[in-house]
Chain A
Amino acid sequence: MKVSLFATCLANQFYADACADTVRLLRHLGVEVDVPKAQTCCGQPAYNAGRRAEACDMARHTATVFSNSGYIVLPSGSCVGMMRSHYPDLLSEDETVPDLVERTFELSQFLVRVMGVTKLGKGLEGRQIAYHHSCHALRELGVRDEPLALLRGCGAEVVPWEADEECCGFGGLFSAKLPETSAAMADRKLDTLPEVDVLTSTDGGCLMQMSGRASRRSVGPPFKHLASLLWEGVGT
């Protein structure tokens, strides 16, 4: 099986290890991974800001970069959400796009739904984990059970968390434009968090938001991207 990795602009710069762990994990499962060099950004920041022209340009670029790919896997729910929900409309004149986005998956979604894998190893046995459902993974992609199955499949306990499905307040540029409200949303997440060893999520933006706020307040557990945690789960 062959897969192209789309690192995504945010993870590429801030969660490079998670991208690397995504590659390692896929290879471990026998998947051949290539990384188209011309990849940049899916266009979501422009789309959400109402800049449709710029979003179209970035979408067109991305669609071209991955036009020859089979499966496309991303360590991000929000970028996959952007592509699946909006590329067909933004690039309506391109008949190859609907098929392209059908082949595009967030990592946990790919592992469970396409590869049928839930048991990666025993590397997370005894670990108490809080899982944050990123809004786009949950609501745009319907990814809810896959990450939980994978984490439990590695022996982890996913601890109940009353605010686990609530938005963390990242929202891309929202976090910088309305920082006080954004921080209050992160506080809601942090203040309801049970005692855990680590907090994880499919999305680096969410992790950046919560860990940044936690760090400012000197609270919170360690934060780790789902890809890295699952690679740890493989164990050795």
Chain B
Amino acid sequence: MSCGSTPGQYRNEAARTIREEPQVRDSVTKATLTFDAHRVEAFAQIDSERWRDWARDVKTHLLTHLDTYLEEAEAQLIANGAKVHWAETAEDALEILAGIIREHGIKSAVKAKSMLSEELQVNPHLEKLGVDVRETDLGEYILQLLGEPPSHIVGPAIHKSLEDCRELFHERLGTPVNAEPDELAAAAREALRKDFLAADLGISGGNFMAADTGTIALIENEGNIRLSTSLPRVHVAFVGIEKLVPTLTDVAGFVQLTSRAATGQPVGNYVSLIQGPKKANEPDGPEEVHVVLVDNGRTKLLADDEAWEALRCVRCGACLNICPVYRQTGGHAYGWTYSGPIGAIIAPGILGLEESMPLPHASSLCGACADVCPVRIPIPDLLVHWREKAVTAGLAPKSETLGLKAYSALAQRPKLFNTAGAIMRRAPLELGGRALPILSGWVLERAAPEPSAKSFMQMWEEGIV
């Protein structure tokens, strides 16, 4: 399902959410603080600095040898009996999916939570093809009933409260108005059980892919991914090309680090390690496994000498959980699949720089994200990097360009700088809205600051100090 918004609408959507949906800010704040507290506890149990260094270095090695590992992974998957497809764009990925659906006469599908499948807009395409698709992750199921996209990488429905769920399930599943969470969960289990058993196709993403064994690793807590990738006769996995790791033993480190960073668990409740279709000595499992390796702008990011570091991302959501900007609105205000700090630094590669604006500016550069990222992505530096690229591309607002050029010119001429300062202090911000359009946003939400009676440099000059 599509967002209904775009990154370009960030300011309006953020303002609207804060103003009209204060419960979103409350729900998201509560959820993210909880996730982060669990992460802190889980990191304290391990030598987290060493784990993070290791993970950064493995991913850096992987990315600088990506072509070799992609070829190795493909060969292994084929040897395992899986089929491998390569998709340059989202359209290509959807076309590949359509081909598989036609070939197998697929009528119904169950879906595991996959951010890549959101990025590619798989569900609307399945609907167009006449395939009945059911989201099986509880949070995604709730959102599918509501017609909303996910708002967080790990907890897609954190912007919804218990009351929201009660109301929804009462309406759609017939549960009592004041049903306990257990009753709501039982109703979802029963409703989705039929879908699991009847589906022709299971769709998943891939958290990691080990090149040496051709293994797709998937992390979850509910079991819906295990079910979606085990019961239907066909399994299609969409995997971004950056999701590879060199070896299956590397996967051991990554599933643990990602789980600790995301929810504070030593490991997600279920980890699926999938090599290919069922073997002869196995009583059940899919007859066909298709892996779709997806580019969709990742090679563009890889080519950027700074932004390529963003490809290390393991999609743990820790940066969203610590981000004081994300916390105020949740993910929908960002207008794209990936929100928060990581969304802002990969959007220019996947969506394009112009389409991503102003996301790289939707940050105060506080640096909290870099402190928690398990693969040490220098997120604030990359935000500034994209801001620089935006300036070079002529995407900076005119008032900002003129204002900062003028400011810089003054700052190199101390006497003029001080004179300008003296004038500005006499024209307070309320009036300065026209004189200083770059600062007019201030007074919308705050009282204008009172300048000091005299500037310090003036006090010094006059010998007052």
Contacts and interface: CB of A to CB of B under 8 A. Distances in A.
A181 B371 CA distance: 22
A57 B446 CA distance: 32
Contacts of B442: 175-176, 179, 212
Contacts of B424: 13
A12 B457 CA distance: 7
Contacts of B447: 211-213, 215-216
A20 interface: yes
Contacts of A37: 414, 457, 461
Interface residues of A, number: 65
A78 B365 CA distance: 11
Nearest to B454: A16
Nearest to A207: B449
Contacts of B18: 180-181, 184
Contacts of B450: 14
Nearest to B22: A184
Interface string A128-152: 0000000110011000000000000
A13 B325 contact: no
Interface in A179-221: 179-186, 188, 208-209, 211-213, 215-216
Interface stretch (A41-49, A91-99, A117-125): A41-49
A17 B452 contact: yes
A166 B361 contact: no
B367 A180 contact: no
A88 B461 CA distance: 31
Given A139-B367, A181-B329, A54 B14 contact: no
Interface stretch (B48-56, B171-179, B185-193, B405-413): B405-413
A50 B389 contact: yes
Interface string B366-378: 1110110000000
A9 B452 CA distance: 12
A13 B421 contact: yes
Contacts of B464: 20
Contacts of A20: 456, 459, 464-465
A49 B421 contact: no
Contacts, number: 208
Interface in A1-57: 7, 9, 11-17, 19-20, 23-24, 35, 37-41, 43, 45-52, 54-55, 57
A37 to B, nearest CB: 7
Interface stretch (B85-93, B294-302, B433-441): B433-441
Nearest to A58: B411
A188 B327 contact: yes
B445 A183 contact: yes
Contacts of B465: 19-20, 23-24
Interface string A58-69: 100100000000
Contacts of A184: 18, 25, 328-329
Interface in B374-388: 384, 386-388
B408 A135 contact: no
Contacts of B445: 179-180, 182-183, 213, 216
Interface of B: 10-11, 14-15, 18-19, 25, 29, 324-325, 327-329, 358, 361-368, 370-371, 384, 386-391, 396, 400-401, 404-405, 407-408, 410-412, 414, 417, 421, 424-425, 438-442, 444-461, 464-465
Given A139-B368, A166-B368, A216-B445, 9 more contacts: A135-B366, A175-B441, A176-B438, A176-B441, A179-B442, A181-B15, A211-B447, A212-B446, A216-B447
Q: Which 8 A-B pairs have the closest CB atoms?
A: A171-B364, A50-B387, A212-B446, A16-B452, A183-B445, A167-B366, A54-B408, A19-B456
6 contacts: A7-B457, A41-B417, A51-B391, A54-B404, A61-B412, A185-B324
